[in-house]
Amino acid sequence: MSFKSSPFWLTALLGTFFVSPLHAEESALELPSGAKVGVEVVEALNFDSSQTRYSDILLHPKQASGTTHSLPEYCLLVANAQLNGDRVRITTQDATCIETHDSESAIYSGTFSASAYAEDGQYGLACDDGSCSLTPGQTFVLALDQSVRIEAQDNPSADINATRRQANGEGVGNPIPGERPDPDQSVENPAPTEQPE
């Protein structure tokens, strides 16, 4: 199984947006303690006696039953997964999300502490018929262990786009210049005037 590192996926997520004009709009991403959000794994995980733990796995938002809140569509959560008896326990550590509003967006990256629950409300995900595996499309619920507040970060793409707009004369700080006189027709060198016949 090819399991790419967290930095690879985080770079891929952010890189997708660096090609578009972005501006941070919201000041913080907030969720209350106990909030429930739906997620799925990014890559398949298989558990057995020789592979009981995965570190730094990546989760992606996905609609699931029993949720109370939703995460931004473009979001990655870093977590650990541990096989414990006939259930897989998943706990998250960090999240990196991009919230978009039309042409505006904000980037959030910070601590995100939550635990996985099956859709029946039980802690951990049950193994089906002795098979312990998680695959993309298999949704489950994360319940926040504590409230989350992640401040918006500086958005490099927004800065680049703002510079472009100013260079194109679209910003207030750099309005399109009006017509300027020809330097060859200045006060010291006025334009010739026609003499009456």
Domains of the chain plus CATH, in order, are: 22-164 (2.40.128)
Q: 63-89 pLDDT, tens per residue?
A: 998 899 999 889 999 999 999 988 999
Q: Check: CB of residue 117 under 8 Å from CB of residue 141.
A: yes
Give the C-alpha separation, 151 to 73, whole Å.
18
Residue with token string 């985080």: 10
Q: Check: CB of residue 100 under 8 Å from CB of residue 92.
A: no
Q: Check: CB of residue 161 under 8 Å from CB of residue 155.
A: no
- How many CB atoms lie under 10 A from the CB of residue 97? 21
Question: What phi, psi does 156 have (nearest 5°)?
Answer: -55, -40
Closest by CA to 14, choosing from 161, 157, 152, 159, is: 157
Q: 155-176 pLDDT, tens per residue?
A: 666 556 656 656 766 555 555 5
Give the C-alpha separation, 147 to 136, whole Å.
27
The pLDDT assigned to 130 comes to 63
